[in-house]
Amino acid sequence: MLETPVEPISIDAPFRVPRPVLRQSWLALTFLHWSFDPVVVRPLIPGELELDLWEGRIYVGLVPFILADLTLPMAPAVPWFSRFPETNLRTYVYDKQGRRGVWFFSLDAARLAAVVGARAGYALPYYWARMSVDATGGSVDYRSRRRVGPGGHTEIRVTPGEMIGETSPLAAFLTARWSLFAYRHGRVLRADIDHARWPLQRVRVGALDESLLRAAGLPDPKGEPLAHYSAVTHVMTGWRRRI
């Protein structure tokens, strides 16, 4: 029997989320990616999902940003509650139907209510953290330290540069993901997202100190990360459902 083909990478959303349940914006977002031997990542991913490899390697991304305007699709955002820093640690997988998506090792957020809601509603491994994002003088500083759960921190400084005119195949592979996966009670869950094409910029990493990869059970990364930056992206999120 032939295996189900894996869907192609698309830099534009291949579908609309028909009944979104959340609206949000991602601001001052930095992608930092390292490649790993798949052998070290495979034990950390449910067996129902396959590792999505690039030239035989699995990529892990550390992604700090500001989450803003978090609200229902047609509702106004609530000041303070709807805006807070977040950092996620992720990799790339596909399900038995060939649908590509993101698997989160962890998501740190500065708003406790959002942590509780995302854990309950989406089965995502959120952690409450003390966090800040400071964009001054042309650079962006991200700082985070977990309040609860396995210890983890980040101290990152980046300087965004010029816009990238044409997205490379690898950059598209790492950023153009339109579903997320989670796991609860022995079942894989999936939720879809919808947003415009990523407006990616080059970015220089000036400082990087983190322990989130180690806290997730991953080895320390080797070499400089592959880095991209995006100033703003507006997102619609669908409800999670069992595969």
Average pLDDT, the chain: 96
Q: Minimal CA–CA distance to 238: which of 178, 196, 183?
A: 178
| Domain coordinates in residue numbering, the chain | 22-242
pLDDT for the residue 1: 40
> Is the pLDDT reported for residue 2 higher than 60?
no
pLDDT for the residue 243: 85
Spatial distance between the Cα atoms of 57 and 161, rounded to a whole number of angstroms: 27
Spatial distance between the Cα atoms of 178 and 31, rounded to a whole number of angstroms: 16
Band of residue 78 on the pLDDT scale cut at 50, 70, 90: confident
Spatial distance between the Cα atoms of 208 and 157, rounded to a whole number of angstroms: 7
Q: Minimal CA–CA distance to 65: which of 170, 136, 156?
A: 156
Query: Cβ(232)–Cβ(198) under 8 Å?
Result: no
pLDDT for the residue 138: 94
> Is the pLDDT reported for residue 10 higher than 60?
yes
Query: Cβ(100)–Cβ(172) under 8 Å?
Result: no
Q: Which fold has domain 22-242?
A: Acetoacetate decarboxylase-like (2.40.400)
Q: Could you give phi then psi for residue 117, rounded to 5 degrees?
A: -65, -40
Spatial distance between the Cα atoms of 139 and 167, rounded to a whole number of angstroms: 23
Residues 22-66 have pLDDT tens digits of: 999 999 999 999 999 999 999 999 999 999 999 999 999 999 999
Take residue 195 and report the two structure tokens written for it.
Answer: 């947003």
